[in-house]
Amino acid sequence: MNILVYLETSPNGLKRSSSEALTAARALAGGSHITGIMFNGTPAAFNAAGEYGLQRCLNINDKIIEQFSNGLAAIAISDAAHAIGAKIVILSATATGKDIAPRIAVRLQAGLLADCVELIPSGDSVEAVRPIYAGKALIRVKPETAVVVATLRPNVFTARKTERTTVAVEAFSFASDKDVRTSVVVSTSQNMGTIDVAEADVIVSGGRGLKGPENFHLIEELARSLGAAVGASRAVVDAGWRPHREQVGQTGKTVAPSMYVACGISGAVQHLAGMSTSKVIVAINKDKEAPIFKVADYGIVGDVFEVLPKLTSKISAVTGRH
Amino acid sequence: MNVLVCISQVPDTTTKITVSPDGKSMNPQGVKFILNPYDEFAIEEGLRIREKFGGTVTTLTVGGESAKEILRTALAMGSDTAAIIKDEERQDSYIVASSIADVARSISPDVILFGRQSIDFDSFAVPSMVAELLGWPNISMVSSLTIEDHSVTAERDIEGGKETIEATLPCVIAAQKGLNDPRYPKLPDIMKAKSKTISEHPKSSAVRRVNVLDMKLPDTKRLNKIFGESDQELDEVVRLLHEEAKII
């Protein structure tokens, strides 16, 4: 069973979600059956992929792909899947993965298993478990097609290193119709110096209990002590205290970090929908009846203005981060 | 400029989900259904494009008879016409996308707008699939959109930042929160919308590609250890995070 894994690069190598995808692929098939595909792959990225057991990687270094285009990326990945006879194509459910996986599925006449939280080997194919209704239910889905495209929710599959392998890199050129009509990325802007909640391993979120934007330094300080990203509830984003990119919940981002710390957040259903699959949940709220405590592993009933500074210094003492 | 806006009817965000006796779908009893929240941005953007360039806005949904309700909302907001593709199940995103692509081929819009995701199945699949089926470009998670002549410039949200994307028309756009402030329909328009005709289109004959085997509610067992705000208790929380949860 051949598997093609689309690998997203980062400035220092491989995105963590791609390491997770490689680990998940290894659980389905032996290393010799797994091929990676990268766009403009770097030595750092190939090395990083080798730490997760990748033996063979296709690399596309095409002028046409310099300005990333979702339509062309889909053509390239589909062509590569044909070339290696892939039964399963795996991507991460990132902004890019979610955008191009449906196109690849159409091109390969494949069933799309979107945003999976579990992959289950099934004969010559794979079944998956995926959350629906914002995580309020889980469905097990089975493709009815010979080829399957699956996207994996970031932070759910654990990335595990294995005996380092040397990655054989092969240049791959795809037969793109140069007239294909597509969109291209003309520029990218990053929010400097912040970790995005969608990619963070730990998130500290603040809600209305903070009483005003001027008090969010308490959240930022706790986040620093944990090496965490700062998140926010819808109420404080709508009030203009924090930017929308930090919003966790139904109209914001769905996150699944190793630890989620909710501070002064009551826990409306819409907020819980975005974070309830976090591995460990800590809640700080002065109202002991707040719904957030029902989903918390560790709840602290208290005033955030009292608790946050104390908790920050106690955690700093353990982590050494200030 | 002709715009096709595709919307869907979803359970209200506060709905408590229970499983149907068939073991693989949501029990619809007692559930309030609403217009998918992101689709409001898509409808609003469609109306703004018409206000700027002229043309018509057609709103389309895929669903059962009750989904006509959200089409009436779109009509009340200002959509010129409304259409439904009858598909009660609506579980297979490929069939939904194929049905929409069929309608798009017959009415040849310049822009197709969606909400960034439908909050029931959360697959983020249909807009990109429709674009691929039509051979069009698509831009997802769009928080800012400018159309000039036949070119589209859009900002889309990505992890940790934004991308600026260019494409040509015709194009598929999936709207993110922040794109605009959707208008509220006025009472007389709500009344008028009730008597407008809704046309019906056939469901695609495409074959199902993914089957649902079963549906479960998540196992939400949490430790539920509750502490006070004293120094000793906070020390205990930090100790547990370190030794029990092994997270710090």
Of A35-49, A179-193, A206-220, least confident by mean pLDDT is: A179-193
Contact B108, B3 (CB under 8 A): no
Last residue of a domain, one of A127, A152, A171: A171
**Contacts with B37 from chain A: Cβ below 8 Å:** 250-251
Residue B33 above 60 pLDDT?
yes
How many domains does one find in chain A?
A: 2
ipTM above 0.90, yes or no: yes
Residue A114 above 90 pLDDT?
yes
Q: Judge if A167 and A207 occupy the same domain.
A: no
Work out the pLDDT band at A187, boundaries 50, 70, 90: confident
Distance CA A9, CA A13 (A): 6
Contact B13, A250 (CB under 8 A): yes
pLDDT tens digits, one per residue of B101-145: 999 999 999 999 999 999 999 999 999 999 999 999 999 999 999
The residue-averaged pLDDT of A2-25 equals: 95
The shortest CB-CB distance from B222 to any of A95, A107, A296 is to: A296
Q: Judge if A63 and A134 occupy the same domain.
A: yes
A255-291 burial, b at 16+ Cβ within 10 Å, e below that, comes to bbbbbbbbbbbbbbbbbbbbbbbbebbbbbbbeeebb
CATH number of the domain enclosing A228: 3.40.50.1220
Question: Which residues in chain A (162-201) have CB-CB distances under 8 A to chain B?
Answer: 180-191, 194-196, 198-199
B167 CB-side CA count, 13 A: 31
Cβ within 8 Å, pair B157-A245: yes
Last residue of a domain, one of A152, A171, A190: A171
Q: Judge if A40 and A162 occupy the same domain.
A: yes
Q: What is the pLDDT of residue A196?
A: 87
Q: ∠ CA(A40), CA(A43), CA(A47), 5° rounding? A: 120
Q: Judge if A139 and A240 occupy the same domain.
A: no
CATH number of the domain enclosing A39: 3.40.50.620
Q: Judge if A162 and A22 occupy the same domain.
A: yes
Residue of B nearest to A72 (CA): B137
Distance CA A101, CA A106 (A): 9
Cβ within 8 Å, pair B137-A71: yes
Q: What is the DSSP string of chain B?
A: --EEEEE-EEE-TTPPP-B-TTSSSB--TTPPEEE-HHHHHHHHHHHHHHHHH---EEEEEEE-GGGHHHHHHHHHHT-SEEEEEE-S----HHHHHHHHHHHHHHH--SEEEEES--TTT----HHHHHHHHHT--EEEEEEEEEEETTEEEEEEEETTEEEEEEEESSEEEEE-TTS--PPPPPHHHHHHHTTS-EEEEPPP-PPP-EEEEEEE--------EEE-SSHHHHHHHHHHHHHTS---
Q: Any idea which residue has 């800590």 for tokens?
A: A282
Give Cα A165 to chain centroid, integer Å: 25
Q: Measured between alpha carbons, how far is residue B246 from residues A258, A299, B45, B151, B225 in Å?
A: 10, 17, 47, 52, 16
Q: Judge if A166 and A213 occupy the same domain.
A: no
**In terms of residue numbers, what domain contains A135?**
2-171
Pick B14 or A122 by higher pLDDT: A122
DSSP letter assigned to residue A198: T
Q: What is the pLDDT of residue A177?
A: 64
Going from N- to C-terminal start, the domains of chain B cover 3-201, 218-248
Q: Judge if A124 and A20 occupy the same domain.
A: yes
Q: Judge if A221 and A291 occupy the same domain.
A: yes
Q: Judge if A167 and A244 occupy the same domain.
A: no
Q: Judge if A7 and A153 occupy the same domain.
A: yes
Residue of A nearest to B222 (CA): A297
CATH number among 3.50.50.60, 3.40.50.620, 3.30.420.40, 3.40.50.20, domain B3-201: 3.40.50.620
Check if A274 contacts B (Cβ < 8 Å). no
Contact B38, B119 (CB under 8 A): yes
Last residue of a domain, one of A171, A194, A222: A171
Please count the other Cβ atoms lying within 10 Å of the Cβ belonging to residue B62: 27
To the nearest whole number, what is the mean pLDDT of chain A? Answer: 93
Q: What is the pLDDT of residue A87?
A: 97
Work out the pLDDT band at A108, boundaries 50, 70, 90: very high
Q: Judge if A127 and A254 occupy the same domain.
A: no
Q: Judge if A208 and A138 occupy the same domain.
A: no
Work out the pLDDT band at A183, boundaries 50, 70, 90: confident
Residue A178 above 60 pLDDT?
no
Q: Any idea which residue has 């069929």 for tokens?
A: B102
**B96: alpha, beta or left? (left if phi > 0; alpha if psi -120 to 50):** alpha
Q: What are phi and psi of A143, to 5 degrees?
A: -75, 145
Q: Any idea which residue has 């914001």 for tokens?
A: A252
The shortest CB-CB distance from A295 to any of B119, B222, B241 is to: B222
pLDDT tens digits, one per residue of A67-89: 788 999 999 999 999 999 999 99
